[in-house]
Amino acid sequence: MSETERKLPYVPDEWSEAANSVACSFITPVALVCGPKNSGKSTFSRFLVEVLLQRYKQVVYLDTDVGQPEFTAPGFISLTLLDKSILDSDLSIPCVKTPERCFFFGDVSSKRDPKTYLRYIFTLYDYYQLHFSQSNESKTGLPLVVNTPGWVKGIGYDMLVDVLGYVSPTHVVKINISAEPKNLPAGLFWLDRNHEETVNLIEIQSAYRDSLSRSVLIQKDTRLMRDVRIVAYFRQCIRDKEVSTVKELAHELASHTPYEVPISIMKIEHLHFQIPSSEVLYSLNATIVGLGVSSDVFEDLPSCVGLGMVRGIDMEKGVLYIISPIAGHILQKVDILLQGLIQIPTCLLEVREYRSPYISTNVLATS
């Protein structure tokens, strides 16, 4: 058993064979992992990254699952550069990393705006092609792992086919579960019969087994898992104190020094809904927003540097008070606030000892 396999509670032989098959390819692999919900796509993707890191110094990870992302808070589509193990910690604890580039989709499902969702994915893949598919020192470039959501029926299936067609991966790892109707079609389902393309299709079974050694669905509390990821993200705001419980974190965030952001320099975009102009600022209070930078554009899309929590608005002074783990010198470049449907977890709002978490004293100016 390899060191990588020891870091996981259970690694089937076919998982090891699949990962090694990708890693030992004669060409730099672009591997897309797909399958129905709760089949183990994220776990296998992590394992695949570990195996690839044994042969490559860095691995690029394209996460297209806005509901259960691997390294960001929910609502993001991201491209992350990995250069060290991501299995050293407890797999139940979110592994928060700063992406190389990301877009804030602002929802936990792609169904509200499939066109924009696909555009973000295609743009990030283009970014990978431009910056990482060929290194300056060699022609090998860096491998890419693409993790996909578990929505594989209806429109979800159509979007997966579109992603497969655009990315044209060298390897497709398709994970099946025992509930056969929930699986993706057999074979190269995304290609036309007359389409000639060299691709390695690897089909494996889910690692989760019942007493009869059948793969089974593991039901997850997705709402709770999303809240845990949001909490982990804003936990980064408290770097100099020991915080062991969510209640302690809520208290720390309520008293944390916010950034003071002039409203006049901000463009406010609502991603999946419309707000009357007279209510725009009020709608921002006590919400999570994406922090966009219009000066950093790739293919006409401004970058997003992270999330902020709008803790208060002072209409007289014309400022917003925002909590964010993003460094001040980066926040100074932010001039777009992206309001989606990602909500502050209730556990972070339950603070009774303070008069109000929405205060306008003890602030940091960003300009």
Homologous superfamily assigned to 3-205: P-loop containing nucleotide triphosphate hydrolases (3.40.50.300)
Q: What is the CATH number of domain 222-365?
A: 2.40.30.330
Beta-carbon contacts of 221 under 8 Å, excluding residues fewer than 6 positions away, are none
Question: Cα(318)–Cα(359) distance, rounded to whole angstroms?
Answer: 14
**Residue where the block lists tokens 């996981």:** 8
**DSSP class of residue 362?**
S
Pairing of strands 144-147, 30-34: parallel
Please tell me the number of Cα atoms within 13 Å of 198 on its side-chain side. 4
Phi/psi for 97 (5° steps) reads -135, 160
What pLDDT score was predicted for residue 136? 46
Cα distances from 316 to residues 263, 360, 367, in angstroms, run: 11, 11, 18
pLDDT of residue 49: 96
292 CB-near residues (< 8 Å, 6+ apart): 104, 269, 302, 303, 304, 305, 334, 335, 336, 337, 338
Both tokens assigned to 102: 């990301």
> What's the chain's length in residues?
367
Q: DSSP letters along 134-145, please?
A: S-SS-S----EE
| CA-based radius of gyration for the chain | 22
pLDDT tens digits for the chain (367 residues)?
Answer: 555 555 555 688 999 999 999 999 989 999 999 999 989 999 999 999 999 999 999 999 999 999 999 999 999 999 999 998 877 555 556 788 999 999 999 999 999 999 999 999 999 999 999 999 865 455 569 999 999 999 999 999 999 999 999 999 999 999 999 999 999 999 999 987 666 667 899 999 997 654 444 444 444 578 888 999 999 999 999 887 888 888 889 988 988 899 999 999 999 999 999 998 888 888 898 899 999 999 999 999 999 999 999 998 998 899 999 999 999 999 999 999 999 999 999 988 876 544 444 444 444 455 5
Would you tell me how many other CB atoms lie within 10 Å of the CB of residue 3? 10
Kindly report the pTM of this predicted structure. Answer: 0.89
What is the DSSP secondary-structure string of 85-137?
-S-SS-TTS------SEEEE--SS-GGG-HHHHHHHHHHHHHHHHHHTSS-SS
Are 72 and 87 contacting, i.e. CB atoms less than 8 angstroms apart?
no
Question: What pLDDT does 104 receive?
Answer: 97
Indicate the domain borders of the chain: 3-205, 222-365
Place of tokens 């980064």: 236
Q: Is 22 helix (H, G, I), strand (E, B) or coil?
A: helix
CA quadruple 308, 311, 313, 318: dihedral sign = negative
Q: How far apart are CA 179 and CA 199, in angstroms?
A: 26
Q: Which amino acid is at 231?
A: V
- Give the pLDDT of residue 282: 85
- Let me know: does 293 contact 303? Beta carbons within 8 Å: yes
**Dihedral angle of Cα 148, 153, 155, 156, to the nearest 10 degrees:** -10
